[in-house]
Amino acid sequence: MQPWYKRLVRREQDGAVEIIRTYTYSELHRSYLGRLISFISFSLTAPIGLMKVSRPDVVLASSPPIFPMLSVWLVCKLRRIPMVFEVRDLWPESAIQMGILSNRQLIGIMYWMERLLYDKAARIVTLTQGIHDDIQARGWPAKKLEVITCGIDTQMLFPDAKAGQAVRQEQGWEGRKIVLYFGALGEANNLDVIIDAAAHSKDEKLLFLLIGDGMKRAHIERRIAQLQIDNVQLLAPVSKSLARGFINSADVCLVTLQDISLFKGAIPTKLLDYMACGKPVLCGVEGEAAAIISAADAGVNFPPNNSRQLASVLATLMKDQALRERMGSNGAQYIQKNFDAIRGRLAMEKLLSKVANENSTPRTRQK
C-alpha cells in the first residue's frame, strides 16, 4: 500500500472525475478474517468520505461487499439522497452456497441487511438477468429492478497481436502454447480444475498461466508442488492498462467458477475481457456465461468440475489454429455488438438522471 493511502481521507483527480479515497485495512486477500476486517474498516470510513462532498443528487452504491452499504445508506437517509443499489453478486447467498458462511446469527444479520437495502434503494441495478430474476422472485417489483450488464472498454481491450508478441518475448514464452486464466484467485473461482487439467496434460509445450491474487493463491502453490508439475506459472496481478498485452499473448483463455446454482446467473468480467481481445474461451461456468459462449460461437463449454474433459477439449483446440482464430474473431465481434461499455454507461447515466429528477425538490426543478 502506498503511504498516502493510509490516510483516513485522500482526494485525487482523474481527468474530470474527483476521487475521494478512505482508509481500508489492506489484507483483503490474505484470509477470511482479513477480508472481514477490511469490509468493516471501509464500512466505518466510507461515510466519512461521503460527508466530505457537497450533497450529490444521487448515490450509486455497488455491492459486494454488503457491510459498507448499510452505513452508506444511513448517510443517504440523513442527507436525503436517493440511493441506487448495484448488485454485482448476491450476498449472503453466494457465501452460503460456497460454504464460506455458516454462522446462523451472521447469516440472519446479512439477510436482514440485504432486505433493508433492497427496500430502501430507489432502484436496484443488476449485472445479469439471473440476479434480476432471483431478486424479483423474492418479492421486489420489476419496476424497481433494472439490468445493466457490465460493459467492456473496447478502446482498451481489443485484438492486438503485436502487444501479445511483445509480452511473449519479455516473459520468455516464445514457442509455448499459452492457456491463460486472468483474475481473482478466490474461493469462488474453482481453480483446482485448472491445476488438475494441467496435471492431465501430455503436451510439453502447454503452459498454464494464472495471473492474479487472492486467498487461494497459497493453496494453488501447494498443489503445484504436491503434483510436481512444471507447466503452471503464477504471476502477480497486472494493471488494466497492461492486461491487453497479456491476454493477447494467450492461445486460449479460461474462465471457471464453482458448480453452484447461483453462478448460473453470473457473467464473469474476465469472460468478456477475453472475448474483447479476440481469444477463444474454454468456459467452465453453466448458465448465462455458457449461453454467451454458445450464442457467439466464441469457444467451448465444459462441465465446471470435469478437469479431464477440460484437458481433452484443450488438446483438440490446440491442434486447430483456424478454429481458434474463428472463435476469437466471433467473440470480439459479439462484444462490440452487445457489451460495449458506451452502451452500459449511457444506460446507467439515464437511470441515475431519472432517479435524481424523481427525488429532486420543487425548488431544484425550477432551476
Question: How confident is the model over 301-328, as pLDDT tens digits?
Answer: 999 999 999 999 999 999 999 999 999 9
Q: Which three cell numbers stand for residue 172?
A: 520468455
Task: Using a pLDDT cut of 90, give the percent of the chain over it.
Answer: 72
Helix (H) or strand (E) holding 301: strand 299-301
Radius of gyration in angstroms for the set of CA atoms belonging to the chain, rounded to a whole number: 22
Helix (H) or strand (E) holding 222: helix 217-227
Is 90 exceeded by the pLDDT of residue 135?
yes
Q: What is the pLDDT of residues 8-38, one digit of tens each?
A: 888 888 888 888 888 877 665 566 667 777 7
Which residues are CB-contacts of 113 (< 8 A; sequence separation ≥ 6)?
Answer: 66, 67, 69, 70
Is 90 exceeded by the pLDDT of residue 228?
yes
Judge whether 21 and 8 are in contact, CB under 8 Å: no
Chain centroid to Cα 110, Å, comes to: 21
Strand residue runs (E) in 120-194: 123-126, 145-147, 177-182
- Average pLDDT in the 224-231 region? 96
Measured CA to CA, the distance from residue 318 to residue 322 in angstroms comes to 10
- Average pLDDT in the 58-80 region? 90
Is 70 exceeded by the pLDDT of residue 211?
yes
- The pLDDT assigned to 1 comes to 47
pLDDT band at 363 (very low <50, low <70, confident <90, very high): very low
- Average pLDDT in the 283-291 region? 97
To the question of domain 3-152+342-366 being in CATH 3.40.50.2000, the answer is: yes
Measured CA to CA, the distance from residue 348 to residue 325 in angstroms comes to 34
Is 80 exceeded by the pLDDT of residue 265?
yes
46 vs 140, which has greater pLDDT?
Answer: 140
Nearest Cα neighbor of 274 from 237, 327, 232, 233 is 327
Nearest Cα neighbor of 270 from 186, 342, 164, 166 is 186
To the question of domain 161-333 being in CATH 3.40.50.2000, the answer is: yes
Domain-wise residue ranges, the chain:
3-152+342-366, 161-333
Dihedral sign computed on CA atoms, order 217, 290, 254, 184: negative
Name which of 95-99, 183-187, 359-363 the model is least confident about: 359-363
Chain centroid to Cα 335, Å, comes to: 16
Determine whether 61 is exposed, middle or buried from the number of CB atoms within 10 Å of its CB (0-12, 13-18, 19+).
Answer: buried
Q: Which three cell numbers stand for residue 60?
A: 450509486
- The pLDDT assigned to 22 comes to 84
Give the CA distances from residue 92 to residues 8, 64, 193, in Å, rounded to whole numbers and listed in that order: 28, 9, 25
Which residues are CB-contacts of 145 (< 8 A; sequence separation ≥ 6)?
Answer: 123, 124, 125, 126, 132, 135, 136
Q: What is the pLDDT of residues 229-264, one digit of tens each?
A: 999 999 999 988 899 999 999 999 999 999 999 899
Name which of 162-176, 179-193, 245-259, 351-365 the model is least confident about: 351-365
Judge whether 258 and 190 are in contact, CB under 8 Å: yes
Nearest Cα neighbor of 196 from 285, 327, 316, 314 is 314
27 vs 206, which has greater pLDDT?
Answer: 206
Residue listed under C-alpha cell 424479483: 136
348 vs 38, which has greater pLDDT?
Answer: 348
- The pLDDT assigned to 160 comes to 97
Task: Using a pLDDT cut of 70, give the percent of the chain over it.
Answer: 94
Measured CA to CA, the distance from residue 17 to residue 175 in angstroms comes to 43
* Average pLDDT of the residues of the chain: 91
